[in-house]
Structure 1
Amino acid sequence: MRRRRLAESVSAAVLGLALGVATALAQGAGNEASTLGLPLPEAPALRILAGDATPPQLDIPAPPELVLDLRPSGSDSAPELAAPLEAGEIVTGAISTTPRRELEEPFLDIPAPELPPVDPALTAKPTPEAEPQLARPTEPLITPPTLPEVVVALPPGLELTGRIAERAEEALSVPRLAQRERADILAAYAANENRPFWIEGKGWSAAGKLLAAQLGRAGQDGLRPADYALPAFEASDKDRLAEADVRLSALAVLYARDARGGRIDPRRLSKMLTPELDLPSATEVLSELAGAADPGLVLAAYNPQHDGYRRLKAKLATLRTDKEEVPSVRIPAGPPLRLGMRDQRVPLVRARLGLGASEEPVFDRSTATALAEFQKQAGLRADGVLSNQTLAALGSPPATRLESDIVAQMERWRWLPADLGASHVTVNVPEFRMRMVHDGKLVHETRVIVGKPETATPIFSHKMEYVVVNPSWHVPPSILKKEFLPGLANDPNYAAKRGYVVTRRGNSISVRQPPGERNALGWVKFMFPNDHAVYLHDTPNRRLFASNRRAFSHGCVRVENPFALADLVLGPEWTNERLKRLIGSGERTIRLPKPLAIHLVYDTLVVNEAGEITTFDDLYGFHRLVRNALEQRS
């Protein structure tokens, strides 16, 4: 019994294995046949003989069968085991594939698996000349459908990205464009994946044309069009297209910075010219231009938008349109000519001014009047005197000289903030005049005294923060060094005799003038702390306001009616009467309701709404410095 159970177990295991193999073969054959379209071979029947037991016989029609014989070779019955099987022992036998015959041994017939019918359309038809082959056909059995044509459109400008990356450095070699701006432009292109900003197809895009057109109009704003000349390029030359795109960006950045006053550095002209220029970065310029519907208008807006600047611009256009031919006359140098003087140059002067000949070479009234009119148009002091400056102006056409003067004045407008403030105070130093604007309207105007030529009033913008009533005056270091120290060296009581208090701290000396009638600051001062230590203030010496040329201070600005100004800047809470009641009661600081913009400007040419030019003396020579700097750059 033990041996029989062992044999039955082995038989069952082998039977399971055989069933698995047969099924896999059947499925594989079916799949292959389905693929190749070949008739399936008949599967052999499986017969298993295990010992001398006679199992029930299943009649399964099948072709020659596979007989699995577990008996030893040459034996008709199960062998007798000499000893019980141990764990790990293997019982071996022989597999017979002989055709089915009548045997007394037990057997198991397994029917062949049923396969699905093969679609005739997928069956490869063998040719008559050749027998069916089991290899997979090389040609596809099913004709693939016709696929639509795929067109890949590259993003605009993608074909220039590589060239822009290669040519950008060379395209950015623009004079006066700093390395920082060049780096910012490269970064802007990198952020745009080196795609062009202004090139579309084989030329400028609509935005690029608008931007290029504005660069071409640079002369209308007193700038040099040659500084922003665009490169020529062939539409088929992609390298030049890439360079042109980057160069246009660079020129636009340069234009924007020049429009804000970047052409010259005022501080290099004079230490008294210290405006804070608002120069835009390349990143700011390109971000604004690239996102604008009309980048030309955006670029033009970097020029000053103030009325004074616009009137100068309109006058410049008129002068260039109405240029007249003037006689070419060379007038020799000589001493200044005034009314009534005789000189052999008088006929030449009259010819240059378009006057008729005179019987005597006398500098008469008609000559002086015509010369004064010429001086006015040329932006010079209209005194009718043939000075060296006037003689130099006569050497060039009047319009040309006046053009350069207007351009220089336009340049100084670029030093001012883009927003002057709805309420602000302006002091025009060459005019000796102060104006206050409140909510866009002129509400106060008065005369002022400014610094002497050797102690010039500085030019800059700031914020007025507070007002001091009954101020003390601390003598600034420059005056202390030039006046008080030499006086104290000669007389220890030099300061005390003049009402000043001297304080010594070690080796340092400070001098202060207490509040009072004789105080140099008067009764009130207007403070906007700055590096020059200047401010607006009252003065005890009011008779100086009667002078036409009021340049008497050490740099500060003296106001003719300071209490009227204080009434305006401090608001309705501090009336003129209330402030005056504080006089003599000790120093008092009053803060403004909010800081007030103040601009110390240097306007030597002013154009009114009617287009008429008013000129003021170049008190400190700042106008000449700016004009010469621009001409040298040209």
Structure 2
Amino acid sequence: MPPRHWANRASASALAIMLGCLPLSAETRTAFDPVLAIPLPEEPPLDLSEAHEPEIVTGTVTPASRPQDPAKQDAAAPLDEAAETITLDIPAVEMPAADPALAPATGPLRAVEPLVPLPEVPKVVITLPPGSEFAAAVVAALPEALTLHRLGERERAAIAAAYQANENRPFWVGAKGWNEAGKRIAAQLGRAAEDALRPNDYPLPVFEASDRDKLASADIRLSALAVLYARDARGGRLDPRRLSKLITPTLHLPSAEEVLSTLTGASDAGAALSAYNPPHEGYRRLKAKLAEMREHLDDTPLVRIPAGPPLKLGMRDARVPLVRARLGLGPSEEPVFDRSTALALADFQKKAGLPANGILSGPTLAALGRPASARGEEDLVAQMERWRWLPPDLGADRIMVNVPEMRVRVLRAGKVVHEARAIIGKPESATPIFSHRMDHVIVNPSWYVPPSILRKEFLPGLAADPDYAAKRGYVVTRTKGGGISVRQPPGERNALGWIKFMFPNEHAVYLHDTPNRRLFSAEKRAFSHGCVRVENPFALADQVLGPEWTHERLKRLIGSGERRINLPQPLAIHLVYNTIVVGEDGQITRFDDVYGFHRLVRQALEQQG
């Protein structure tokens, strides 16, 4: 038999054997989990003898002859395909009927309408914070809107940070312009002149309500102007220390954060802004007097005096008749700058805050060209400016030393309970202007000669006479640095007298007694080296030390050695420079500008304007 026929027979036989063995159940060995090493559950035997046995495909093999041994077959003999036929009886497979709904569409696809209508989706409403629509415009306008004269970089950065913290929403505008707070701030800025400030320093921005970019810029500019106004109201227009090293008040300038926080949280933003001006009674009286002065026009006829060289006593000049007419003097026979002209001019200079030397200089000529009311306004404005240098809270209990008035006052609960004459520093050793706190008193004090006096007086004297200090009752001590210290021991001749009132400060000045009490009878009392000498110092001690230390008890300590006594409570002390004071009756009292500080302030304000 050919090999191929033999292979076909073998395959059919193998298939029959395999199909016959299927009903048999094979034994299985117990299986174990390879990780846990525990027997797995036994699987049920596979039984194919049920009635649900699947139908087996059968066939009929019809050989032409019996198969021969393959070894006896001739491999080279041709294959007789007709010799054998294998017929397989494979039943037809019945397929379910096709679903008409799944038949492919013959036309274009159409949207299938849902059998159940979808529910309506509710509308989502998102409410944005008021002013959010300005955010982009605010960010864009910040750099330019904050460019304001005299507004420092620190304040500009703080204002920008305030807007960022507010999500770049405006503070003072809405869709139609200024909101209520913005209107009140703008109105207060417009009234800046009432508080002796310059309205031109706070120009209100102009905008169209329909222009969102302009609205955003206006809001930022109003914030910047409000910050500038608040700082000016607290004394930020001038730096007192640049005017003189002896004017050293501690300014209480508000930060931009404080101003904006205060104004945005106030029920009346305009009133909150106005409150940055000094709250003191002396300032309020000056403000009222300024308003009164502006209501009355000066009817003094102005005489225009041509410029020229300075005029002094005895000089002849064609301008002399004009000067006399301006000063209210009668005509003179000769155009000579005589004594009456010089005296009248010196009086004018004194009232104008100029050096009263009786010389027609350039500044004096300029002052003569302004009406008297203008000069009066400038004086009040300069005095009001110095009130801004004081702390907002002076203290209900305090000591006030008005240097130009040469007077000391003690106030309790805001009322004067003691006042006395004072001796102030000479013009070349002026008493400094500042605020501090008095905390102790020394009875029987020693006086250590200040470096300035040591350098000017004692060193030249010691160079000429080694006993110069000893002859005057002073003790000279060598210091570690190789210098000397000169001390005057306690006693009747001590320059500080029997008691001194201490408030340690950078100028090393204080209030004290003096052995030269006769000097208090003088009208002009600028005699000291800078400290303030007080008349009847033990009466002052009664006021500051309290009832425990009576006048008699203190005097019993005299001559018994240096003794320090602490005040029951530190007491605020203010050394001020008030050359113009308005009384309760509205009358103005003027004091000499003994150190020229008033003139410095007025000139600085004029130059700034």
Tell me by how many angstroms 1:186 deviates: 1.0
Kept in 2: contact 1:347–1:358 (CA 8 A): yes
Residue 485 of structure 2 is matched in structure 1 by 510
The superposition leaves residues 40-97 of structure 1 with CA deviations (integer Å, 9 ceiling, x where unpaired) of xxxxxxxxx96475xxxxxxxxxxxxxx752421389xxxxxxxxxxxxxxxxx9986
Tell me by how many angstroms 1:226 deviates: 0.9
Which of 419, 429, 437 aligns to 1:463? It is 437
CA distance in 1, matches of 2:191, 2:203: 11
Residue 628 of structure 1 is matched in structure 2 by 603
Q: Which deviates more, 321-330 or 596-605?
A: 321-330
CA distance in 2, matches of 1:476, 1:366: 44
CA distance in 2, matches of 1:423, 1:262: 27
1:288-299 map, 5 Å:
288-299=262-273
User: Structure 1 residues 628 and 99, CA, compared in 2 at 3 Å: closer, same or farther?
Assistant: closer
Which of 413, 435, 439 aligns to 2:387? It is 413
Residue 439 of structure 1 is matched in structure 2 by 413
Q: Which runs of 5+ in 1 are unaligned?
A: 8-48, 54-67, 77-93, 101-125
Residue 281 of structure 2 is matched in structure 1 by 307
Tell me by how many angstroms 1:620 deviates: 0.7
Q: Secondary structure at the match of 1:430?
A: coil
The superposition leaves residues 99-157 of structure 1 with CA deviations (integer Å, 9 ceiling, x where unpaired) of 99xxxxxxxxxxxxxxxxxxxxxxxxx9xxx9999x99523334456667665443211
User: Structure 1 residues 377 and 620, CA, compared in 2 at 3 Å: closer, same or farther?
Assistant: closer
Residue 600 of structure 1 is matched in structure 2 by 575
Tell me by how many angstroms 1:373 deviates: 9.6
Q: Secondary structure at the match of 1:315?
A: helix
Residue 472 of structure 1 is matched in structure 2 by 446
The code of the aligned residue for 2:508 comes to A
CA distance in 2, matches of 1:543, 1:525: 18
The superposition leaves residues 322-371 of structure 1 with CA deviations (integer Å, 9 ceiling, x where unpaired) of 1234312135763469xxx9999786467546788799999999999999
CA distance in 1, matches of 2:537, 2:186: 51
Residue 319 of structure 1 is matched in structure 2 by 293
Kept in 2: contact 1:377–1:613 (CA 8 A): no
CA distance in 2, matches of 1:5, 1:437: 124
CA distance in 2, matches of 1:235, 1:420: 45
The code of the aligned residue for 2:174 comes to E
- Matching of residue 396 in structure 1 with residue 357 in structure 2: no
Which of 545, 569, 594 aligns to 1:619? It is 594
User: Structure 1 residues 70 and 160, CA, compared in 2 at 3 Å: closer, same or farther?
Assistant: same
Residue 222 of structure 2 is matched in structure 1 by 248
CA distance in 2, matches of 1:576, 1:323: 54
Residue 172 of structure 2 is matched in structure 1 by 198
Q: Secondary structure at the match of 1:584?
A: coil
- Matching of residue 543 in structure 1 with residue 518 in structure 2: yes
CA distance in 2, matches of 1:99, 1:228: 96
User: Structure 1 residues 200 and 140, CA, compared in 2 at 3 Å: closer, same or farther?
Assistant: same
Residue 43 of structure 1 is matched in structure 2 by none
- Matching of residue 578 in structure 1 with residue 559 in structure 2: no
User: Structure 1 residues 96 and 180, CA, compared in 2 at 3 Å: closer, same or farther?
Assistant: farther
Kept in 2: contact 1:378–1:398 (CA 8 A): no
Residue 44 of structure 1 is matched in structure 2 by none
User: Structure 1 residues 561 and 392, CA, compared in 2 at 3 Å: closer, same or farther?
Assistant: farther
Residue 122 of structure 1 is matched in structure 2 by none
User: Structure 1 residues 311 and 380, CA, compared in 2 at 3 Å: closer, same or farther?
Assistant: farther
Which of 491, 494, 511 aligns to 2:468? It is 494
* CA RMSD between the two structures: 3.7
The superposition leaves residues 302-325 of structure 1 with CA deviations (integer Å, 9 ceiling, x where unpaired) of 000101101111111111111234
Residue 334 of structure 1 is matched in structure 2 by 311
Residue 32 of structure 2 is matched in structure 1 by none
Q: Which runs of 5+ in 2 are unaligned?
A: 1-20, 27-46, 61-89
The superposition leaves residues 411-441 of structure 1 with CA deviations (integer Å, 9 ceiling, x where unpaired) of 1000100011011001111111111101111
Tell me by how many angstroms 1:633 deviates: 0.5
CA distance in 1, matches of 2:92, 2:50: 17
CA distance in 2, matches of 1:331, 1:384: 19
Residue 173 of structure 1 is matched in structure 2 by 147
User: Structure 1 residues 325 and 528, CA, compared in 2 at 3 Å: closer, same or farther?
Assistant: same
CA distance in 2, matches of 1:490, 1:131: 132
Tell me by how many angstroms 1:169 deviates: 1.3
User: Structure 1 residues 342 and 585, CA, compared in 2 at 3 Å: closer, same or farther?
Assistant: farther
Kept in 1: contact 2:353–2:593 (CA 8 A): no
Kept in 2: contact 1:379–1:615 (CA 8 A): no
CA distance in 2, matches of 1:387, 1:520: 42
The code of the aligned residue for 2:225 comes to L
- Matching of residue 481 in structure 1 with residue 455 in structure 2: yes
CA distance in 2, matches of 1:376, 1:457: 21
CA distance in 2, matches of 1:559, 1:164: 59
CA distance in 1, matches of 2:369, 2:352: 12
Q: Secondary structure at the match of 2:58?
A: coil
Tell me by how many angstroms 1:219 deviates: 0.9
Kept in 2: contact 1:458–1:555 (CA 8 A): yes
User: Structure 1 residues 601 and 315, CA, compared in 2 at 3 Å: closer, same or farther?
Assistant: same
Kept in 1: contact 2:313–2:338 (CA 8 A): no
The code of the aligned residue for 1:612 comes to Q
The superposition leaves residues 501-522 of structure 1 with CA deviations (integer Å, 9 ceiling, x where unpaired) of 0001351100000000000000
Q: Secondary structure at the match of 2:423?
A: strand
- Matching of residue 74 in structure 1 with residue 58 in structure 2: yes
Kept in 2: contact 1:69–1:96 (CA 8 A): no
Which of 423, 429, 440 aligns to 2:403? It is 429
Residue identity over aligned pairs, in percent, reads 67
CA distance in 2, matches of 1:543, 1:576: 21
Q: Which deviates more, 162-171 or 443-452?
A: 162-171
Q: Secondary structure at the match of 1:521?
A: coil
CA distance in 1, matches of 2:465, 2:533: 30
Which of 240, 260, 267 aligns to 1:266? It is 240
The superposition leaves residues 438-458 of structure 1 with CA deviations (integer Å, 9 ceiling, x where unpaired) of 111100111100000010100
Q: Secondary structure at the match of 2:147?
A: coil
CA distance in 1, matches of 2:188, 2:240: 26
Q: Secondary structure at the match of 1:444?
A: strand
Q: Secondary structure at the match of 1:252?
A: helix
CA distance in 1, matches of 2:549, 2:445: 17
Tell me by how many angstroms 1:168 deviates: 0.6
Q: Which deviates more, 353-362 or 528-537?
A: 353-362
- Matching of residue 561 in structure 1 with residue 522 in structure 2: no
TM-score by length of 1: 0.76
Residue 159 of structure 1 is matched in structure 2 by 133
Q: Secondary structure at the match of 2:424?
A: strand
Residue 63 of structure 2 is matched in structure 1 by none
TM-score by length of 2: 0.79
The superposition leaves residues 139-196 of structure 1 with CA deviations (integer Å, 9 ceiling, x where unpaired) of 3334456667665443211011111112111111011111111111111111111110
The code of the aligned residue for 2:218 comes to A
1:213-252 map, 5 Å:
213-252=187-226
Tell me by how many angstroms 1:597 deviates: 0.3
